[in-house]
Structure 1
Amino acid sequence: MRVFAIADLHLAFATPKPMTVFGPQWAGHPQAIFEQWREVVREDDLVLLPGDLSWAMKLPEALQDLSHVAELPGTKVLLRGNHDYWWPTISRLRSALPPGMFAVQNDALRFGDVVVCGTRGWLTPGSEAFGPEDAKIYFREAERLRLSLQAARKLSGERTHTILMLHYPPTGTQFAPTLFTDLIDEYRPDQVLYGHLHGLPLERSLRIWNGIPAHLVAADVLRFKPKLIVE
């Protein structure tokens, strides 16, 4: 089983929102994602989707967007992003998702020898916009990350490969340590994925943290092609 990843799908079939306001490269982006997805992903592959999946505000509308993703090859694992306002309680979401589509929240899931965990994350101290309200969310998300990593450890074995999904990057542009990177150091997942950053050149992104590979998988950065993470 191969593992692919792509974040920030920003689908808007139910609630139209032109993404070209963020640049001309977004023109027709759903079709670009779907076409390239079908080119590289097989039915027995795993595709990780770390956040900002749909612009919908309510679950029924989001399911209209997710239904297009569900029709694509592979098993899909969803994580909440900062724009996924439609995301309900995890029990309600899991009961509503189409077959072959799963969600991670404060826990972990195992698919064969691959264990997937993660949380949304948030702005980190030192960020220009970081304020008192952000501090509360930052500490809360760090605790959620701990819970998810603990769950992943319980599912892991000698031959498992643990992948940590975040929506926000685990650290800022200066790559200073944070509560998120402290937990990465403590639990040592095999790989870290994150999205959220648009238009950032890959050479300026976090690509490794203390020996652990890190991947920026925002859709536009990947030119809308899912990235192969595990062969």
Structure 2
Amino acid sequence: MWKTLAIFAIGDLHLSFNKFVKLDEINPETDIEKPMDIFGWLNHYDLIRDHWLKQVRSNDTVLIPGDISWAIRWEQAQYDFDWIAQLPGRKICSPGNHEYYYHSKKKIREALPEGIEWIDADYTVVEGAVVAGTRGWSLPGDPFYQEETDRKIYERQAGRLRLALEAAQKDHPDKEKIVMLHFPPITKHAKESKYMEIMKEFGVTLCIYGHMHGKSAEDAIQGEVDGIDLRLVACDALKFCPARLR
């Protein structure tokens, strides 16, 4: 049974290992593809590893809200999750928009290494809190949102968040509620959303999200909004260092 001392978060790891490697034996020329180099993320997995090892202990928890692996198939993604599994702590993952290897919650839960959990439209318990998760989606009002193609996904993801929080409220009505999304629940272009409405309805106190990088990360809305503490935890925005939440 886990005894959580601290809760951390870091998303958008964007790993791409092509075989199993030990934490301290990575050869960037042979062991990993490098799709993030074009964004200036040079050997970013080393930075994640080093910061993680300095901060996270074996009985801490790390929330990882999506865009974990570039893999297309699970046979590729397993190397990235095996690498994460070697790091200390309990890891709780939820999907992003680049989880191409993810087709079945049941199958991925059966395949994940020990110490890694997967939540999507449901929740898990972390000490005195419940953590509910789903992917989220682009918001009406955002520049890249297209009503004809995005509305259905947006509504479906809002429904999945509601399912997760309804179950959490039913089972653990007195516990603090934390939400992990991949997409932000509001942006400077979309100052309200169904995600925010649902979180307010269920008394969520903290929402972490990723997805926003570079200039968009500078514009991310963070801090308390309508009683909910919003935090961007995309790894580059955190300088590749897990952020302590609790």
Q: TM-score range by the shorter chain?
A: over 0.9
Q: Does 1:174 align with 2:178?
A: no
Q: 2:37 aligns with which of 20, 25, 29?
A: 20
**What does residue 100 of structure 1 align with?**
115
Q: 1:3 aligns with which of 3, 7, 26?
A: 7
**What does residue 103 of structure 2 align with?**
88
Asked if 2 retains the 8 angstrom alpha-carbon contact of 1:17 and 1:55, the reply is no
CA positional deviation for 1:17: 3.5
Q: Does 1:197 align with 2:215?
A: no
**What does residue 151 of structure 1 align with?**
167
**What does residue 219 of structure 1 align with?**
235
CA positional deviation for 1:114: 2.4
The 3 A distance-change label for structure 1 pair 105 and 201 is closer
Q: Which amino acid aligns with 1:69?
A: I
- Secondary structure at the aligned position of 2:71 is classed as coil
Structure 2 gaps of 5+ residues are 19-31
**What does residue 29 of structure 1 align with?**
44
**What does residue 185 of structure 1 align with?**
200
Q: For the residues of structure 2 that align with 1:203 and 1:52, how far apart are their CA atoms?
A: 19
Asked if 2 retains the 8 angstrom alpha-carbon contact of 1:115 and 1:155, the reply is no
Structure 1 gaps of 5+ residues are none
CA positional deviation for 1:76: 0.3
Q: Does 1:74 align with 2:78?
A: no
Q: For the residues of structure 2 that align with 1:20 and 1:31, how far apart are their CA atoms?
A: 13
Root mean square deviation, CA, Å: 1.5
- Secondary structure at the aligned position of 1:120 is classed as coil
Q: Deviations over 1:191-210 (max 9, x none)?
A: 10000000247663222220
